[in-house]
Amino acid sequence: MSSSASNTASGEPNKASGQFHSAKGTVVETIGNVTGATTWQQSGKEEHAAGEGEYKASQAKGYAEGTADRIGGKKDSVVGAVTGDKAQQAAGNARDDKGEAQQTVNRSV
C-alpha cells in the first residue's frame, strides 16, 4: 500500500490527502534536486506519484458512486411515475440530480 493511501483514516482514497501528498512529494523532490540528495529525489517522486494515484482513485470512486445514484434515481422516478407515486418520483429525480452533480465534480479532465 502506498504511503499516501495508508495515511487516510478509513483506508479509502481521498482527494485532499492525495493532493497533499502530491504537493509534499514535489517539495521533497525539489529539495533533493537542489541539495543533490538522490534519496530525497526518489522519495519525493514516489510520494508525488502515490498522491496522484490516490487523487485519481478518489475521483473514480466518486464518479462511480454518482453513476449508481443516477441509476437508482431513474429507477425510482420511473416506478413513481408508473404507479402515480409523486413523492417517489420526486425523490428519484432528486437522487438522479445528486448523482449527476457528483459525476460532474469527479469527471476527469
- Please identify which residue in the block is written with the cell numbers 492525495: 18
pLDDT tens by residue, the chain, 109 residues: 444 444 555 688 999 999 999 999 999 999 999 999 999 999 999 999 999 999 999 999 999 999 999 999 999 999 999 999 999 999 999 999 999 999 999 987 6
- Confirm whether pTM is higher than 0.85: no
DSSP characters over the chain: --HHHHTSSSSS--HHHHHHHHHHHHHHHHHHHHHT-HHHHHHHHHHHHHHHHHHHHHHHHHHHHHHHHHHHHHHHHHHHHHHT-HHHHHHHHHHHHHHHHHHHHT---
